[in-house]
Chains A and B, each alone.
Chain A
Amino acid sequence: MKIGLISPYAWDVPGGVQAHIRDLAYHYLDQGHQISVLAPASDESSIVEDFVVSAGRPVAIPYNGAVARVLFGPVAASRVRQWVAGGDFDVLHLHEPAIPSLSLLACSIAEGPLVGTFHAAAPRQKVTFAIAPFLEPVIEKLRARIAVSEIARETLRIHLDTDAVVIPNGISKEFFEKAEANPTWRRDLTIGFIGRFSEPRKGLNVLLEAFPRIALALPEVRLLIAGPGEGVEAMESVYPALRSRITFLGRIDDQAKASLLKSISVYVAPNTGGESFGIILTEAMASGVPIVASDIPAFSQLLEDGKYGLLFENENSSDLADKLIRLLKDNDLAQRYSQSGLDHAARFDWNQVGDEIMNVYLHARGEDERVTLLSEARPWSRLFTRGEEE
């Protein structure tokens, strides 16, 4: 099958959606499918994958508590048109087609077996309601919609009044399960945190507030924080006496992330909101590390209300401290969460998730159907071609 994937966000900036598309592309390539990915890129030379086509430089806009690098406009539209026309795709899979991006452009330009995946979960937003009437005819063209979680599905239902099939994001279970622990990180009573900690919604503040209480109960405790950003600023809010217990590792690659997860005794996700899935939790589960996470909807759903990890009340640092102390002291409990997480992680393996997405492709596509350009992409040209036909 020839599959076209579109990333709304810049390929050379790390992010969940980009990682999802890349892994999905590799998974299908391994199965013998043909893949082409269209994505914006700030620096074309940084693209290492030969199946990725750059659509030009993106612009940065603030979106959903983070900065999104997207691409839109007439030049981008002509790149999309070229790519779709030259691709001769069996299926076009658009990611996040409801925000102004390459995906939305492609959705309005192309016709045929189109599938869209909705990643974001956002509360009711007036802006989205305002543009919904313009989005609706475009989004309507998608033969099938995928939401990465129940929360993303709900967001879609509220804003665009349309339902979706829920298929979670994928991970390579084996990669995390087989990773080796790093001896310099490996020690008992180590708490791990991975994420862009400079963004408030990642909740590092909550964790740092809870830390003195944990250190009081467990003097040996250590905290490892990984992610892009300067640790110095965050460190200022910590008691000087405790600073030696906290280490900032900076940005780490996938390999280092997997071995960090293998090295720590508990993974903590204090995110305060804005998450729709929580891929890092599935990765922690696949590594067999017990989890303490805030009870925001996405995490509660992923951990099935505490079945696969301990939940604490969102933004409540003393509750977080209690839960962390409990898990670090109770070896049996930690062991149980580790095992149940490992079992549950299989649900998110690409072998399972890839098959489910392929199934949606097959349902979206009629026999011998291809993705074509909407010959009447412009209203006025549509008027003329109609006139000639009749």
Chain B
Amino acid sequence: MEFPVFVIPLFVLFAIWYLTFSATRLDRLHQRVETSWANLDAILQRRASLALELTHFPETDPAANLLLTEAAHHARNADISVRSEAESALTGALLLLRDESWLVEKHPDLFEELDQLTERLKVGISLHLEGVSAARARRSKLIYRVFRLAGKAPLPVKYAFEDDSLVEVQR
């Protein structure tokens, strides 16, 4: 039996389709990570500026003030590699203030917003981490590496946010 030649172009067509399809999938995952990071970043920035607002109150004692100011500035300007560390430090600083019940009573709005932000952060972090692991898992597959389907997109980074410490801010 003769080899059916028409199979070859069909196969090539299928291969092209499969590669574009796979590339689109990965592209979409990258987009998801970017979106979740942008949203997460916005909340973290808002939290840092809330923390700075707290330092402007005359009631906060100077030591806490200094700690908070530094933590907030650090978190705001942190490089991506040390970002999660800086955010955790800010969480710790905020936690100290959260225990001062008289301060909380004096500025209920501010602390309420802080609690809401924490709630949103928890969801944001888990969604972001989920997206990152999905994208990374896909990129590590053979076909993506052989055909370099990720192109020039940077590998999504996993941020080691300490979820538990964030939860505590709420109490």
Contacts and interface: CB of A to CB of B under 8 A. Distances in A.
A201 B153 CA distance: 50
Contacts of B32: 143
A216 interface: no
A363 B21 contact: no
B134 interface: yes
Contact of A382 (B20, B39, B131, B134): B20
Interface stretch (A2-10, A237-245, A311-319, A365-373): A365-373
Contacts of B17: 379-380, 382-383
Interface string A117-149: 000000000000000000001001101110000
Contacts of B38: 366-367
Given A140-B28, A162-B134, A366 B126 contact: no
Interface in A350-367: 356, 359-360, 362-367
Contact of B35 (A145, A365, A379, A380): A365
Contact of A362 (B13, B24, B39, B134): B39
B130 interface: yes
B16 interface: yes
B156 interface: no
The size class of the interface chain B forms with chain A is 20 to 34
Interface residues of A, number: 26
Interface string B5-45: 00000000100110011001100110010111011100000
A382 B17 CA distance: 8
A369 B39 CA distance: 12
B92 interface: no
Contact of A140 (B25, B34, B35, B39): B25
Interface in B93-150: 119-120, 123-124, 126-127, 130-131, 134
Contacts of A366: 34-35, 38-39
B121 to A, nearest CB: 10
B21 A165 contact: no
B131 to A, nearest CB: 8
A64 to B, nearest CB: 25
Contacts of B36: 143, 363
A209 interface: no
Interface string B34-75: 111011100000000000000000000000000000000000
Interface of B: 13, 16-17, 20-21, 24-25, 28-29, 32, 34-36, 38-40, 119-120, 123-124, 126-127, 130-131, 134
List 5 tightest A-B contacts by C-beta distance, closest first.
Answer: A366-B35, A163-B130, A363-B39, A363-B124, A363-B127
7 contacts: A111-B28, A140-B134, A143-B127, A360-B127, A363-B120, A369-B35, A382-B21
Given A111-B28, A162-B134, 17 more contacts: A140-B29, A140-B134, A143-B35, A143-B36, A145-B130, A165-B127, A356-B123, A359-B123, A360-B123, A360-B127, A363-B40, A363-B124, A363-B127, A366-B35, A367-B38, A369-B35, A379-B17
